[in-house]
Structure 1
Amino acid sequence: MKIAVIAALALATSFSAAWAQDVIITPERETVIREYIKKKPLASITLPGVELNVGTALPETVEVHSIEGVPDVTYQYVVIDNKTVLVEPGTRKIVKIYN
């Protein structure tokens, strides 16, 4: 019985940890993304009532822009409140915020 409880707790903990993990962007990709964003600046928009946090999903009304011509980078970006926000295309969730 104790083993089953321990196994269940371990499994639940691993699922929680997976949900809490940040997206890891390699230093090389980070540099490429930052350079791309500097070369292709966007006008800043405001989103009243939306908190800019990693994991927050942006509304469908927000136009996000692809990072084109960069191998192995599928993220999109938008500038909100003068902060560049990196977004996962499928979920529209914020994965990184640049100040």
Structure 2
Amino acid sequence: MKIQLSAAVSGLLFIAGAASAQSVVITPEQETVIREYVVTQEVHPVEIPSDVTIEVGSTLPETVELYALEVPEAEVTYQYVIVDDRTVLVEPQTRRIVHIIQ
């Protein structure tokens, strides 16, 4: 019984760890810094293909141009794009949406 419980707990910890590895936490302070940076860059909003949903976890196609987020004080290493007045943070290697700033 002890072995089964231990294995179950290990499995839950593995699942929780995998889930947390996919989520990105951007603090309100980081959002403010990012928002201020994006406003100064004058990046134009883009149209996303109709078959792409803008939500965390979705992947943007290669046809969508991403911009470097050069904000050391925000302590994030993502790229971004503006869609419908929202700043969409994207993981550069996978083009996966990791956070959306309203």
Q: Which range, TM-score by smaller chain?
A: 0.7 to 0.9
Which residue is equivalent to 1:14? Answer: 13
Change (3 A) 1:41 1:6: farther
Match of 1:31 in 2: 32
Say which of 73, 97, 100 aligns to 1:94. Answer: 97
1:5-84 correspondence runs (5 A) = 5-21=4-20, 22-44=23-45, 45-68=47-70, 70-71=71-72, 72-84=75-87
Which residue identity lines up with residue 4 of structure 2 in the other structure? V
Which runs of at least 4 in structure 1 moved beyond 4 Å after TM superposition? none
Identity, % of aligned pairs? 47
- CA-atom RMSD in angstroms: 2.0
The CA deviation string for residues 39-96 of structure 1, in whole angstroms up to 9 with x for no partner, is 123222222111111122222222110012x213311101224422011222221111
State the one-letter code of the partner of 2:89.
L
Q: Which has the higher helix share?
A: 2
Alpha-carbon separation, structure 1, partners of 2:42 and 2:8: 46
TM-score by length of 1: 0.78
**Secondary structure of 2:98 counterpart:** strand
CA contact (8 A) 1:46 1:81 kept: no
Query: Is the CA contact (8 Å cut-off) linking 1:47 and 1:80 kept in structure 2?
Result: no
For normalisation by structure 2, the TM-score amounts to 0.76
